[in-house]
Structure formats: C-alpha cells, structure tokens
Amino acid sequence: MMEDILKRFADDPRYVVVPGGLRDVHVHFRDPGTPEAETRASGSAAAAAGGFTCVTTMPNTSPAGDNPAWLREQIEDTSLSCRIAPSACITKGRLGREVADLETLVAAGAVAFTDDGAFVDDARVMEEAMRRAAKLGKPVMQHAVVPSILGAGVMRDCPVARRFGLPVMPPEAETEAVRRDIALVRVTGCALHVQHISCAGTVELIRAARREGLPVTGEATPHHLLLSCEDIPGDDADWKMAPPLGSREDVAAIREGVKDGTLGMFATDHAPHPAAKKTGGFRVAANGIVGLETAAAITWQVMVIEEGMPVRDWIARWTTGPASLIGETPDAGSFAVIDTQANRAVVPDAFKTKSRNMPFAGMCFSAWPVLTVFKGKVEYRWE
C-alpha cells in the first residue's frame, strides 16, 4: 500500500519525495526541564509535521545531558513520531570546566558532543575533549561565540539596534571562536561541526579549512538564510536568537556556502520557549525561535526558488549531509513528501510544537511537507 502512495507522488512533478525523510542535527526539546515549552512527544510531532524522521536533541536541558541515563531516556522513548539520535555534553554540567565522561556517553548512544547554548571557552578543556572525541570517532559541535567579545550583545549592528540603543554582537565573536577551534582540529584531528553559522567570515574559514583537508563542517539555519538584521521590525524578541541575524552580505555568503557545499547541511536550531520568556524585548527575552515546521518551506524558497539550487542538492542538505555528520542511516520504510505548489501562509496556531516564538507568522511559502512516513507508519499528513 505504501508503495502505491509513493508511486503516485513520484509520478507527479508537483511533489518531491525525500528518501528516508528529512534529518535535523540541531533541535531543542526542553525535555527534561521545561515541558510547557516542548516535550519529546510534542517536539517529535512537530518534527514529523516538518517532514523529519530523525532529529538530534541538544543536551542543554535541565538537568543537562551529561550522563548515560539522560541519553537512554532520549533513545528509548519509542512513543515518538520520529527517531531521536541525541548529542551529549562536551563538559560536565555544560559548565565548560571539566570534560564529561565522553567514552561512557558514546557507549550509551551519543552521536556527537556539544555544550550548545554555551561556547567551551577554555582552550585546554576543548583540546582535551577533542582528543578524546577523535579517538571515539565522534564530532564536536560548537556554539561558536566568544563570550568576552560578545559582551552583552543581543543583535548585530543594524537600524533597530541603533534606534533602541541595544548592545551589539561584532561578527568577530563568532569568527574568533571558529578560528581557535580550527586550530585545535589541526592538533587533535577531531571532526569539528560549527553550529548555526551567522556571518560571512565563518563561511570563508570553513571553506579554507576544508580545502586544507581538515574535517570541518557547518550548518545553515533557515532563519540565517532567509532574514538579515535589516529585516528586524523593532524591539520584538520573536526575532531574537543566538547567534543573531547577520547582515545582508552575511546572508548572501551563507547561501553561497550552502550552494557550493562548504555548508553541507541545513539545521533548524528549533528552540521553543513559553510566551512569558519572549516578552520584554531583546535585552531580557530568551534566545531562540521554533523552526521544525517551517524549515522545508523556507529553505526551498531561499535555495531552490531564489538561488536556483538543484532539487537533488536541496534534498542532500536535509538527508545525506546531516547523516554523514552523525553517522546514522535512515530507518527503513521512512520518507517525506513535499508539495512544491502548496502555497500556504505560516499559521503558528496550527503548529504541533507547544511554542509560538518565531518571526515567520503570515509569511507565504510555496513548498510544504504533506506526508511523513516513519518506519512504515504515517506520522503526518496534511489534510
């Protein structure tokens, strides 16, 4: 029966079938810790609605994912609408002081290490973590922002920052972090993955590192591909994320990086928050926006329609790109179908995620997921 459904879509050029389904190496499910923002159940339902069949959860939960019990809880939850291939902390408690028990974490199922939300600022700690991760054959995924350069920065220099007198983040906060980590790749041989790239300088550093033959990868988020800091309408925290939106030149460079394969994957950085945490403007609100349910629509708009990227490359950035980073193959009997002529507006109240924090409400996109099958079971269907 599933074969019949697949054939019907495969024969119609309006639809794109994504073999195995989309994969996302960067999501926050707030589970354990903040169930009012997201649980594994609501997060995986949002993932399925976005066409995803496998997601990598970040360990910045409460408590943090620095122990085998946390990983088991993520992996062994079989009630979910997609698979979780979890990452685990680089340092104990995500405090940046002492390397976590990486060997035990890999044995328990960690596919990568990250302190995401925080940068591992101490180079000696990072070097030790990378030496041990290299022996384990696992990548480190870095939230690349040097705190001393970031300061109190909440957005890049732009009209809204000037109008409201908001503290700004210089792009060097990101590029200096990436420069240091690439130097550590040279001495440790560890695979480095740079998360949510926000500026042109980072794309260039990764391009050069890859030319040098170093195992360095990077991800582009839908929001850093679609929006620049010039688009921010006011002191509205639905536009606040870390790292913040870049300049128009940065957006163009990230698109170019995705096109030429310097950035081998998209990733959402899906970051749900309850409404109370997103009030009070940029100075006080939490960082992050939800993204699983709009990811396919936005990346299709930006990369296929506006940039003319071949459809097979768009599929690769959501499938083989992420799979090669975390070393996981798609589950049998899984696929997603995208309707490239759905032409729908973003309606947050129709989302499966428990949270509504994002700047896309009302925007119109043409391509949307209409069917997600995970291990032979229909987990989402657009009615």
Nearest distance from residue 144's CB to Zn ion, in Å? 9
Which helix H or strand E contains 259, and what residues bound it?
helix 248-260
Catalytic residue check, 24: no
DSSP string, 41-63: HHHHHHHHHTTEEEEEE-S-SSS
Segment near Zn ion (CB under 5 A); pick from 59-67, 111-119, 150-158, 226-234: 111-119
CA dihedral 280, 282, 287, 291 (to 10 degrees): 90
Segment near Zn ion (CB under 5 A); pick from 6-14, 112-120, 167-175, 370-378: 112-120
Residue 31 binds Zn ion (CB under 5 A): no
In the chain, at which residue ranges do the beta strands (DSSP E only) sit?
Answer: 15-19, 22-27, 52-57, 83-84, 140-142, 192-194, 216-220, 265-266, 335-339, 344-345, 364-365, 368-374, 377-381
**Stretch 247-266: interaction string toward Zn ion, x if CB under 5 A:** --------------------
C-beta of residue 301 within 8 angstroms of C-beta of residue 365: yes
Q: Which of 269, 313, 331, 339 is catalytic?
A: 269
Short-list 218, 202, 197, 224, CA closest to 302: 224
Nearest distance from residue 118's CB to Zn ion, in Å? 8
Q: Which is nearer to Zn ion, 83 or 143 (CB)?
A: 143
C-beta of residue 157 within 8 angstroms of C-beta of residue 172: no
Q: Which of 66, 116, 176, 339 binds Zn ion (CB under 5 A)?
A: 116
Q: Which is nearer to Zn ion, 116 or 379 (CB)?
A: 116
- Angle, CA 366 vertex, CA 353 and CA 336 arms, to 5°: 60
Segment near Zn ion (CB under 5 A); pick from 142-150, 152-160, 174-182, 345-353: 142-150
Segment near Zn ion (CB under 5 A); pick from 138-146, 154-162, 254-262, 368-376: 138-146
Q: Which of 94, 143, 193, 223 binds Zn ion (CB under 5 A)?
A: 143
Residue nearest to Zn ion according to CB distances in the complex? 143
Q: Give the torsion sign (CA, 99, 100, 103, 109).
A: negative
Cis status, amide bond into 310, omega within 30 of 0: no
Nearest distance from residue 195's CB to Zn ion, in Å? 5
Binding stretches for Zn ion (CB under 5 A):
116, 143
Catalytic residues: 269
